[in-house]
Amino acid sequence: MLILLKEEDKQPLYMQIYRQIRDQITAGQLPPGQRLPSTRSLSAELAVGRNTVESAYAQLAVEGYVASRPGSGHIVQKIPQLALAPRPDTAPKARPVPPPPPAAGGLLCDFQYGHLDARDFPLNLWRRLTAQALAELSPEDFSVYGSGKGDYSLRWEICQYLRRARGVQCAPDQVMLCAGTTCALGFLGQLLLPLHRHVAVEDPGYPNARDTFSKCGFAVLPVPIEKDGLDVAALYSSGARVVYTTPSHQFPTGAVMSIQKRRRLLHWARQTGGLIIEDDYDSEFRYHTRPVPSIASIQPDAQVIYMGTLSKILSPGLRASYLVLPPALAARYEQQFDDHPASVPIIEQKVLQLFLGSEQWEAHLRRACTANRKKHDLLIQCLKEALPHFTIHGENAGLHILLQAPPPLGENALISRAREQGVRVYPVSRYWMNKQRYSGDMVLLGFGSLTEQQIRQGVARLAQAWGGQ
């Protein structure tokens, strides 16, 4: 097997290796059943890192050119005739791929919320785990829809992770996988509506939650947010028996619900027969202080539905969230919804199961938290130096902060002036149901997807736009 690497080639080394092996397979130079050199020997022969060869082999496995077999290495597979590369003299001319639409012109820095830094995604590891998942899955796994709750082994790994990270004690039968938070909320609406007609939500709060509950047929009742989280007294007054809350890093204010208020909320549920939907949003990102225990961990037998997502720690594009249902609701699910097909693809579930069960998962969590803490601290430092008269809300957790301007600057002026300097910040007014409670002088700044240089440059431009120091 001959492989020639070209330093002047713009393609990454692993892609050069992958393409040359693939072409030799499709041309018949590497017949089915032939074993490829080990990653160790090929990396030594080519004078490249072993990870480079592993990434190339992983891509070949993902596309079905080779199969990874324990103890046998990587074996060339038989490729159907339709998959063979056409002869150069008969190959049709490929249509040029149109370029993506241009980004918004003139932007130096976009304080977009909800995006992550692409450099933090463990792409090579994900490729290797995908290859391993394909090797372990059988054709039968792809021929059925699978459990509506999701793969049992992944649900078991989620239980272990929640026990270690958030103190939540649960069994796999209580866990349900969903294709994102909105999907999870929609499912809860179907599950709860026959039992309840009203749901209380935080105001300001996550608009997708109230919109989803409203579309499901609930009457949505706003409950104000205080400095330490949801106003429990107002919750009592609302008459609602279901409440949706984001206690770890309230969206959008960033308020962290105190342990005292979490206990009061549990008392409300016990006293009224109420149900708490705890969206433990941003719980992974707590800077300089220890995380407050989750509501579900304080009283394990309480009526708490725990919600979590892998979007903030891994990738929004995965659309992988989960619910932990109290035993009574889990039994109700079994009776009424057990025939629902899984909403998360089987290959993605298997890769996630392998990832969560490996040592690399905890290492990834530590790296992501460290990287975002540095960005958070830099953003806070830059804002305090450049805009000392502004007030910062929601710091020390999560991937965004709120910035409140001194009079007479309002939300619209803040956004338009920033845009004139090539910086995008985001409105907060849309998160309020009761607009009269909003002061009208805040903007939201996300930082998860930015580099440190972009943060410095962005804040410097904001100071120019808003008359800072």
For the chain, 469 residues long, give each residue's pLDDT as a single digit of tens.
788 888 777 788 888 899 899 988 888 888 898 999 998 888 888 888 888 888 888 888 877 888 887 777 899 888 765 443 444 444 445 455 555 444 445 688 999 988 888 888 999 999 999 999 999 988 888 877 778 889 999 999 999 999 999 999 999 999 999 998 999 999 999 999 888 999 999 999 999 999 999 999 999 999 999 999 999 999 999 999 999 999 999 999 999 999 999 999 999 999 999 999 999 988 888 888 777 889 999 998 899 999 999 878 888 888 899 999 999 999 998 888 777 777 888 999 999 999 999 999 999 999 999 999 999 999 999 999 999 999 999 988 889 999 999 989 999 999 999 999 999 999 999 999 999 999 999 999 999 999 999 999 999 999 999 985 4
Q: Are residues 349 and 370 in the same domain?
A: no
What's the pLDDT score for residue 85? Answer: 41
Residue 137 lies in a domain: no
> Residue 266: helix, strand or coil by DSSP?
helix
Provide the domain count of the chain. Answer: 3
Q: Are residues 281 and 371 in the same domain?
A: no
Q: Which domain holds residue 372?
A: 109-115+362-466
Contact present, 404 and 439 (Cβ < 8 Å): yes
Residue 100 lies in a domain: no
Residue 218 lies in a domain: yes
Q: Are residues 227 and 347 in the same domain?
A: yes
Count of positions (residues) in the chain: 469
Compute φ and ψ for 416, nearest 5 degrees.
Answer: -70, -40
Q: What contacts 245, CB < 8 A, 6 or more positions away?
A: 202, 229, 230, 257, 265, 276, 277, 278, 279, 295
pTM: 0.77
Contact present, 456 and 382 (Cβ < 8 Å): yes
What's the pLDDT score for residue 106? Answer: 65
What's the pLDDT score for residue 95? Answer: 53
Residue 253 lies in a domain: yes
Element (DSSP H or E) covering residue 332: helix 327-336
Q: Are residues 261 and 305 in the same domain?
A: yes
Sheet holding 400-404: strands in order across?
391-393, 400-404, 442-446, 426-427
Residue 71 lies in a domain: yes
What letter does residue 87 receive in the DSSP assignment? Answer: P
Q: Are residues 227 and 304 in the same domain?
A: yes
Residue 453 lies in a domain: yes
Q: Are residues 259 and 398 in the same domain?
A: no
Q: Are residues 347 and 379 in the same domain?
A: no
Q: Are residues 185 and 327 in the same domain?
A: yes
Residue 133 lies in a domain: no
First to last CA, the chain: 64
What's the pLDDT score for residue 102? Answer: 46
Distances (CA, A) of 443 to 230, 345, 436, 440: 21, 37, 17, 9
Q: Residue 26: which CATH number?
A: 1.10.10.10
Beta bridge mates, 69: 73
Q: Are residues 336 and 235 in the same domain?
A: yes
Beta bridge mates, 323: 176, 307
Q: Please list, residue by residue across 74-99, b when 16 or more beta carbons sit within 10 angstroms of its beta carbon and e when fewer do.
A: bebeebeeeeeeeeeeeeeeeeeeee
Residue 268 lies in a domain: yes
What's the pLDDT score for residue 312? Answer: 80
Q: Are residues 369 and 323 in the same domain?
A: no
